[in-house]
Amino acid sequence: MTRFADSLVFLAEQLADPDHHWSLGTFGALAEFTRDAGEPVAISRQEDSLAAVTARGGIRIAPLPEMRFIASETPTRASWNHRVALCLPASPSAMNRRRVLTELGPDSGALRAQDRGAILFDLGLEGWQVDACIRVADPKIVAALRRHLGRAVFEAGNPVMGIIVPASPHRVFISRLGRIEVFQPIPPPDGRSPEGPHTHVLPKLLQHRRTHAATEPIPDGLVPCAHLYPAHPIKDGLGRPLQFDAQRYQSFERLLDRYGDPDAVKLKRRVIDAIRQGSDPSTIRIPDDRTSRASIRVALRQFEAAHQTSPTLMAWLNAHDRAHVADDEDAMIHGQG
């Protein structure tokens, strides 16, 4: 089996699991695709792509031969996150980087046949690896948007967002590796994002012109063009806590072995082995870099979440994850432990 065919098999397995979530976008503009277990879904596979569509949104993943998977974990305030980035080299990952509202014509690449006659507009957010678009079927809204073509959507005095938000058109985020479409309504400015497929557009973050968060360890020269978020061992897709799920934990450990940074994985395993053996933190020399520090903090939190015991765990936490210890102490003080 070729690497490309192997990638399609892997992605098909992940797409079939409703507990796995997906995103596509850039730092400050992101579309997310999720679905519920039991929610009706149409999953299809072509020779070079995969798609899943529900009544709330859809995703198409179209891998390229040069695509690489990068699995990683990062600590959060109270636990950790994990993901698999679908990456391309910087140059092939680049999209159109338009700066103003631009009409693109009918969306011939729409996931559903009934949407292919609607008009696609690029919002002009200038993301490196994504064209963040809306798709409009209502001729009156199309006409209203056409009056503001060539203007930046967030420039002072531009009324275009006042047209878009109440009209709540489909959002269509496109990268070189596929697209995510969101059919659900746009929440009001003071509302919460709906469960299921939704988008985030944060102008202040877009100003940083980053392709991804600084905490995500993407190798130099690569750009994440989509992300897969496998089911997490201690929280559901909405961030609600779960009992530790050893199967989910082991499943992502296998992904780290396959697609993670070998040095970070090796360090994490050494730390876990040392804690199990009751060794003191001073027995392992820790490289002084962000990825290594993050790997240790994640390892400690996973050891703790799995309810494993060690006489030296608290010493390791004090040495390498003091902020997490403080969070736990604060939670107990305020009756949340």
| Residues 161 and 123 both lie in one domain | yes
| Residues 88 and 216 both lie in one domain | yes
DSSP structure class, residue 66 = T
What is the total count of domains within the chain? 3
Q: What is the CATH number of the domain that holds 21?
A: 3.40.1570
321: in domain: yes
255: in domain: no
Tell me the residue range of the domain where 11 lies: 3-93+208-229
Asked whether 57 and 185 are in contact (CB, 8 A), the reply is no
- How do the pLDDT tens digits run along the chain, 337 residues long? 578 889 999 999 999 999 999 999 999 999 999 999 999 999 999 999 999 999 999 999 999 999 999 999 999 988 999 999 999 999 999 999 999 999 999 999 999 999 999 999 999 999 999 999 999 999 999 999 999 999 999 999 999 999 999 999 999 999 999 999 999 999 877 667 788 999 999 999 999 999 999 999 999 999 999 999 999 999 998 889 999 999 999 999 999 999 999 999 999 999 999 999 999 998 888 888 889 999 999 999 999 999 888 899 999 999 998 766 544 333 322 333 2
| Residues 163 and 286 both lie in one domain | no
For residue 20, give the nearest of 239, 199, 229, 248 by alpha carbon: 229
Rg of the chain over CA atoms, in angstroms? 22
| Residues 221 and 269 both lie in one domain | no
Residue 212 CA to residue 195 CA, distance in Å, equals 23
265: in domain: yes
181: in domain: yes
| Cα–chain center distance at 161 | 25
DSSP structure class, residue 165 = H
Beta strands, E only, 90-163: 102-106, 119-122, 131-136
| Residues 294 and 162 both lie in one domain | no
| Residues 191 and 107 both lie in one domain | yes
266: in domain: yes
